[in-house]
Copies of this chain bind each other. A is one copy, B any other.
Amino acid sequence: MTFLAACRREPVKRTPVWFMRQAGRALPEYRALRGDGSILEAIASPELAAELTMQPVRRYGVDAAILFSDIVVPLAAVGVEIELEPGRGPVLADPFRCEADLDRLRPIEPEEDLATMLETIRILTGELEVPLIGFAGAPFTLASYLVEGGPSRTFGRTHALMHAEPKLWDELVSRLAELCLTSLRAQVEAGAAAIQLFDSWAGALSRREYRRFVQPASRRILEGLSDLGVPRIHFGVGTGELLDLMAEAGADVVGVDWRVSLFDAAARTGGSVALQGNLDPAICLAPVEVVAEAAREVLADASGLPGHVFNLGHGVLPETDPGVLEAVVELVHEESAR
C-alpha cells in the first residue's frame, strides 16, 4: 500500500497518486450515473455512492479512493437545512446568527444519523483493492457556510462573529469539532484507512486568526483520532502561510496547493509531516505535454522528501480531459519508480 506508506513517511517503490474530487463531472461514467439528481440524493444511496467512489479508481489507476460524500453531510444529518446548489455550493436559507442557533447542532449518533455513509464504506471495504480515504470539513470551513449562508469570497460575517463574539464562535467551532470527530471516528471504524480534514477556506485567514480561532478546534479533531493509527491529512487551498500551523494541529500529511513548491512547503513544515500535492488543476486543461512537464516539476520539487503523495493542488476541474489524468498517473508511477 504505497499510499499509506508514503503518508507515514516510509520508503515506497513509487510515488502514490490520487486526485481531490476524482469522483466527479470530469468522468463521463460519473455524469451518466449521476444524471440530474442532487449530490445529497446520490450520497443517500450506498450502492450508487460506492460505485461513484470506485469509478475513478478503475479509470485512473489511482492508489487511493476517496469516499463519495460531501462535507455538509454531518450537518444535514443533525437536521441543519442545507442545500447543495449546483455550480454554487452549500447554501442555508436560515444562516447562523446568535447563541440560539447553537441548538441546531445537536450531537450526532453515527450509526443512526450517518447510517448511509457508513454502509457505503462497508460496501467499499469489501470491493476496493486500494485504501479508502474518509473525510470531513473542518470547523472553520463548516462554520463559514453556516454563518455566511453560502460560499463567500471575503468571509465578512464569519470574521465579524469570531472577533465580536469570540465565546459564541468558540462554542460553535467546538460543537462542529465534536461532530467532525464523531463522523471521522465512525468512518475509520467502518473501514476508512486514512482521513482528510478539509479546511478548504482557511487560507483566507491571517496566521493570528488561524492560531486563535481555528487551530484549537481542528487540533481537537486530529488529536482525537490519534489512537486509531490511520494517517490524517490536513488540507486547505491557499494555505501557504499556514502550513506549519496546519501540521502542528496534529496532521501526518499536509496538503499543499500549487502556489508553494513542495520543496518550500517541506522547509515551512520543518520536515515533520508528509506532503500531498501539488499539480495545478487548471494546468490540467492544457495539452498533455504541458501537463506532463508540470507533473515532472512536482516530482522534482518533491525528490528527496520522505513522504510524498502526488495529488492536485485542489479538486479536479469538471472540464478536465480524463485521458490527461490517466497520463499523469502513469507518468508519476513510472518516473518515480526509477
Contact B280 A206 (CB under 8 A): yes
Q: In the complex, which residues of chain B have a beta carbon less than 8 angstroms from the beta carbon of A157?
A: 285
A260 interface residue (CB < 8 Å to B): yes
Number of copies: 2
Stretch of A100-108, A159-167, A191-199, A214-222 at the chain-chain interface: A159-167
Q: In the complex, which residues of chain B have a beta carbon less than 8 angstroms from the beta carbon of A240?
A: 240-241, 259
Partner of A241, one of B154, B162, B206, B259: B259
Contact A285 B203 (CB under 8 A): no
Partner of A285, one of B159, B283, B285: B159
Q: In the complex, which residues of chain B have a beta carbon less than 8 angstroms from the beta carbon of A319?
A: 156
Contact A317 B156 (CB under 8 A): yes
Q: In the complex, which residues of chain B have a beta carbon less than 8 angstroms from the beta carbon of A286?
A: 159-160, 162-164
List CB contacts (< 8 Å) of A132-181 with chain B: 154-160, 162-164
List CB contacts (< 8 Å) of A201-241 with chain B: 203-209, 238, 240-241
- A sample of 25 cross-chain residue pairs with beta-carbon separation below 8 angstroms, ordered by A number, consists of A154-B281, A154-B314, A155-B282, A156-B285, A156-B317, A156-B319, A159-B280, A159-B282, A159-B283, A159-B285, A160-B286, A163-B286, A163-B287, A164-B286, A164-B287, A164-B290, A204-B282, A205-B259, A207-B259, A208-B297, A238-B259, A240-B240, A240-B241, A240-B259, A241-B259
Given A154-B282, A156-B317, 8 other A-B contacts at CB below 8 A? A154-B314, A155-B282, A156-B319, A159-B286, A164-B287, A205-B259, A206-B258, A209-B280
